[in-house]
Amino acid sequence: MNNRKKGLTLILVEGVDEKDPFLKVICHTFPKLKIDYEKEVYTFNTNIYHLYDELVKEYGDENGNLDWEQTDVDLPVLLSREYPELKGFRKVNFKNILLCFDYDCHDPHYSPEKLDAMQKLFSDSSDNGKLYLNYPMLESYCHCDLREKEAFLDLKVKAKELTGEQYKPLAKSYSNLYRIFNIESKLDLSKEEKLREALFDIEYSTEKHQCLSDIRSQVYLSHPEYSQKQLNKFTGKVYSCLFHKTIAYKEKESFLQFRRRTIQTLVQYHQEKALVMIQKETLQEEVDMQKILSAQNELLREKEHIYVINTSLLFLIDFNPRLIEV
């Protein structure tokens, strides 16, 4: 057995978009989670309905029947066939097991009954694992304007808009949240560590002219060969990625501090929306994922739309509610 110690976290996500940048940014922004992004996050590389089929194949009887409420699933054992580094490990080696998948009601294999079974099976992060479904998909995290809380609490999307080709561009362009999560790639900073650190650590002024001047100075230090036109263009792009169309940043706040506060506010919005959906009154009450799923299935069946909500964000609260205190 490797040197893996009991008490670590195992996170299974649907695909690479969930792993990078979504979970990567969250893990780096909240180091108190103590999640080793490189070693504890794994991709399944297909959707929730294929995972359902894999579980039936592994744990079902010869007729394909499976007792979804009583079956003891050991996810690390199942994943070890794809990831050799997990060989020899069982779920007891992990303090928390999380699964982050999309609702994917546009998928040909969509089945409310299958989703219900999966949500019941994966209801405890310290046992089989806890399933966090994103409605309609991962990109729901950026389908929110933090300046318009009440609008988000009632935000729905029509069934005909639920395919990835239609929904993803809609969500990504809705506010600046997608840029905030993807700023490294948007600014092509992967090979510019010094510029990245400088831009992230500057204590920005809320006065736009001074803020642009500070950004421009850092860009010039890294790229003295830039022409005035290139400097101005890149400076404007940085400013847009950092602060356009989102909550107001505070005086002398670095981008890292701003991104943490942005995510904290975002999680609070999604938590409040979840509790409204299941008619809970206080933020101290735990979100019942089964009730969220039932409410969404009913809304889709009767009204042909669903609420936009990303429950994967809520794992921050399950880990430690103080993490989202602004």
Is this model's pTM higher than 0.85 or not? yes
273 within domain boundaries:
no
Same domain, yes or no, for 97 and 197?
A: no
Separation of alpha carbons 232 and 213, rounded Å = 10
Domains in the chain, number: 2
Separation of alpha carbons 251 and 25, rounded Å = 23
44 within domain boundaries:
yes
Same domain, yes or no, for 108 and 185?
A: no
Report strand pairing: 309-310 vs 129-135.
Answer: antiparallel
The residue range of the domain holding 238 is 180-244
70 within domain boundaries:
yes
> Of the candidates 45, 38, 36, 39, which has an alpha carbon nearest to the alpha carbon of residue 15?
45
Same domain, yes or no, for 104 and 212?
A: no
User: Final residue of a domain: which of 136, 158, 191?
Assistant: 136
pLDDT digits (tens, 9 = 90+) for 259-308: 999 999 999 999 999 998 988 656 666 789 999 999 999 999 999 999 99
Burial class, 155, CB count within 10 angstroms (exposed 0-12 / middle 13-18 / buried 19+): middle
152 within domain boundaries:
no
Same domain, yes or no, for 115 and 197?
A: no
User: Final residue of a domain: which of 195, 219, 244?
Assistant: 244
Same domain, yes or no, for 113 and 42?
A: yes
On the question of pLDDT at 3 being above 50, the answer is no
* 3-state SS, residue 5: coil
pLDDT digits (tens, 9 = 90+) for 161-212: 777 788 999 999 999 999 999 988 888 887 788 888 889 898 999 999 999 9
In this prediction, residue 284 carries a pLDDT of 60
Same domain, yes or no, for 206 and 91?
A: no
157 within domain boundaries:
no
On the question of pLDDT at 61 being above 70, the answer is yes
270 within domain boundaries:
no
Task: Kindly report the average pLDDT of the chain as a whole number.
Answer: 90
On the question of pLDDT at 319 being above 50, the answer is yes
Same domain, yes or no, for 68 and 124?
A: yes
User: Final residue of a domain: which of 81, 102, 136?
Assistant: 136
276 within domain boundaries:
no
Same domain, yes or no, for 127 and 187?
A: no
Same domain, yes or no, for 25 and 112?
A: yes
